[in-house]
Structure 1
Amino acid sequence: MTMPTVLVADDDRSIRTVLTQALGRSGYQVRTTGNASTLWRWVEDGEGDLVITDVVMPDENGLDLIPRIKRVRPELRIVVMSAQSTLMTAVKATQRGAFEYLPKPFDLKELLSVVDRALVAPQPRLPDAAPPPEGEDRLPLIGRSMVMQDIYRIIARLTTSDLTVMVNGESGTGKELVARALHDYGRRRTGPFVAINMAAIPRELIESELFGHERGAFTGATNRNQGRFEQAAGGTLFLDEIGDMPPEAQTRLLRVLQEGEFTTVGGRQPIKANVRIVAATHRDLRQAIRAGAFREDLFYRLNVVPIRLPPLRERPEDIPILARHFLDKVQQSGLPAKRLADTAVERLQSHRWPGNVRELENLMRRLAALYPQETLTGEVISAELLETAIHDEPVPAGGEPERLAAAVERHIRQFLNASHDGMPMRDIYDKVIAEVERPLIQMTLASTRGNQIKAAAMLGLNRNTLRKKIRDLEIPVVRGIG
Structure 2
Amino acid sequence: MRTILVVDDEASIRESLEGILQDEGYNPIFAETGEEALAMLGRELPDLVMLDIWMPGMDGLATLRRIKEIHPGLTVIMMSGHGTIETAVKATKMGAFDFIEKPLSLEKVLLSIQNGLKVVDLAEENRNLRRQLGKDYEIIGTSQPIVQLKQQIAVAAPTSGWVLITGENGTGKELVARAIHENSRRKDRPFVEVNCAAIPEELIESELFGHEKGAFTGATAARKGKFDQANGGTLFLDEIGDMSLKTQAKILRILQEHKFERVGGNRTIEVNVRVIAATNKNLEQEIAAGNFREDLYYRLNVLPFHVPPLRERLVDIPLLAEHFLRHFCSKESRKIKRLDNEALKAMMRYGWPGNVRELKNIIERLVIMVPDEIITCDHLPDVITRGRENGKTRGALSGLQLEGASFREAREEFEREYLLRKLEENDWNISRTAEAIDMERSNLHRKIKAYGIELKK
Tell me the TM-score range normalised by the shorter chain.
Answer: 0.5 to 0.7
Partner Cα distance (1:371, 1:385) in 2 = 7
- Residue number in structure 2 paired with 1:290: 288
Partner Cα distance (1:202, 1:138) in 2 = 30
Partner Cα distance (1:385, 1:267) in 2 = 58
CA offset digits 1:62-118 (Å, max 9, x no partner):
xxxxxxxxxxxxxxxxxxxxxxxxxxxxxxxxxxxxxxxxxxxxxxxxxxxxxxxxx
- Residue number in structure 1 paired with 2:401: none
Partner Cα distance (1:220, 1:160) in 2 = 41
Matched residue SS, 1:199: coil
- Residue number in structure 1 paired with 2:374: 380
Q: Which amino acid aligns with 1:323?
A: A
- Residue number in structure 2 paired with 1:164: 162
Is the 2:260–2:268 contact (alpha carbons within 8 Å) kept by the matching residues of 1?
yes
Matched, 1:251 2:245: no
Query: Structure 1 352/266 Cα, relative in aligned 2: closer, same or farther at 3 Å?
Result: same
Is the 1:214–1:225 contact (alpha carbons within 8 Å) kept by the matching residues of 2?
yes
Is the 1:147–1:315 contact (alpha carbons within 8 Å) kept by the matching residues of 2?
yes
1:320 to 297, 318, 321: 318
Question: Which sits farther off after the overlay, 331-340 or 320-329?
Answer: 331-340
Q: Which amino acid aligns with 1:355?
A: G
Say which one has the larger Rg: 2
Partner Cα distance (2:136, 2:219) in 1 = 41
Is the 1:235–1:275 contact (alpha carbons within 8 Å) kept by the matching residues of 2?
yes
Partner Cα distance (2:177, 2:148) in 1 = 16
Query: Structure 1 372/134 Cα, relative in aligned 2: closer, same or farther at 3 Å?
Result: closer
Matched, 1:194 2:192: yes
CA offset digits 1:117-138 (Å, max 9, x no partner):
xxxxxxxxxxxxxxxx657835
Q: CA deviation at 1:221?
A: 1.7
- Residue number in structure 2 paired with 1:77: none
Query: Structure 1 285/389 Cα, relative in aligned 2: closer, same or farther at 3 Å?
Result: closer
Partner Cα distance (2:162, 2:236) in 1 = 10
Is the 1:367–1:389 contact (alpha carbons within 8 Å) kept by the matching residues of 2?
no
CA offset digits 1:251-284 (Å, max 9, x no partner):
1001111111111112222111211110000011
- Residue number in structure 1 paired with 2:231: 233
- Residue number in structure 2 paired with 1:182: 180
Query: Structure 1 155/180 Cα, relative in aligned 2: closer, same or farther at 3 Å?
Result: same
Is the 1:159–1:183 contact (alpha carbons within 8 Å) kept by the matching residues of 2?
yes
Partner Cα distance (1:384, 1:225) in 2 = 53
- Residue number in structure 1 paired with 2:348: 349
Q: CA deviation at 1:186?
A: 1.2
Partner Cα distance (1:270, 1:387) in 2 = 55
Matched residue SS, 1:326: helix
Is the 1:160–1:187 contact (alpha carbons within 8 Å) kept by the matching residues of 2?
yes
How does 1:67-466 map onto structure 2 within 5 Å?
A: 137-333=135-331, 334-373=333-372, 379-388=373-382, 390=384
Partner Cα distance (1:392, 1:332) in 2 = 30
What is the TM-score normalised by the length of structure 2? 0.54
Q: Which amino acid aligns with 1:330?
A: F
Q: CA deviation at 1:139?
A: 4.9
Partner Cα distance (1:225, 1:263) in 2 = 12
Partner Cα distance (1:188, 1:137) in 2 = 19
Partner Cα distance (1:387, 1:214) in 2 = 51
Partner Cα distance (1:321, 1:360) in 2 = 12
- Residue number in structure 2 paired with 1:21: none
Is the 2:209–2:226 contact (alpha carbons within 8 Å) kept by the matching residues of 1?
yes
Q: Which amino acid aligns with 2:336?
A: A
> How many residues are aligned here?
263
Is the 2:137–2:178 contact (alpha carbons within 8 Å) kept by the matching residues of 1?
no
Partner Cα distance (2:322, 2:328) in 1 = 10
Q: Which amino acid aligns with 2:377?
A: A
Q: Which amino acid aligns with 1:285?
A: L
- Residue number in structure 2 paired with 1:111: none
Partner Cα distance (1:366, 1:390) in 2 = 14
Query: Structure 1 391/244 Cα, relative in aligned 2: closer, same or farther at 3 Å?
Result: farther
What is the TM-score normalised by the length of structure 1? 0.52
Matched residue SS, 2:223: coil
Q: CA deviation at 1:226?
A: 0.5
Partner Cα distance (2:153, 2:371) in 1 = 41
Is the 1:211–1:230 contact (alpha carbons within 8 Å) kept by the matching residues of 2?
yes
Is the 1:311–1:356 contact (alpha carbons within 8 Å) kept by the matching residues of 2?
yes
Query: Structure 1 250/145 Cα, relative in aligned 2: closer, same or farther at 3 Å?
Result: same
Partner Cα distance (2:346, 2:135) in 1 = 26
Percent identical residues: 50
Q: CA RMSD in A?
A: 2.5
Q: CA deviation at 1:148?
A: 0.4
Matched residue SS, 1:330: helix
- Unpaired runs of at least 5, structure 2: 1-129, 394-457
Partner Cα distance (2:168, 2:370) in 1 = 29
Is the 2:377–2:385 contact (alpha carbons within 8 Å) kept by the matching residues of 1?
no
